[in-house]
Amino acid sequence: MSPRAEFPVPSWAASPDRFLARFWFVIDDILGRPMPGLDIAAFVSAPPELANRGVFIDRSSLVSV
């Protein structure tokens, strides 16, 4: 069992107000315009914890170097 599995998910984390009403593609805000090709990449690559809440960002953007 992974260490994360030992902790229950707090009730506030599943509250409806913790999810976006419409999808947010972070790259569009960074570049200031829609980027359909990059949006698709973000949609496919986004970590499930963010995608489940409607936030799409390429997984590689979250890697620390």
Cα–Cα distances (Å) from 32 to 3, 28, 44, 48, in that order, read: 39, 6, 21, 25
At 65 the pLDDT is: 79
Residues 8 and 14: their CA atoms lie apart, in Å, by 12
Per the domain annotation, does 8 fall within a domain?
Answer: no
Q: What mean pLDDT is predicted for residues 38-53?
A: 94
Looking at the structure of the chain, the number of domains it has is 1
pLDDT greater than 80 at residue 4: no
Q: What mean pLDDT is predicted for residues 10-32?
A: 91
Per the domain annotation, does 55 fall within a domain?
Answer: yes
Per the domain annotation, does 46 fall within a domain?
Answer: yes
Per the domain annotation, does 27 fall within a domain?
Answer: yes
Per the domain annotation, does 25 fall within a domain?
Answer: yes
Residues 55 and 39: their CA atoms lie apart, in Å, by 11
User: Structural domain of residue 48, as residue ranges?
Assistant: 18-60
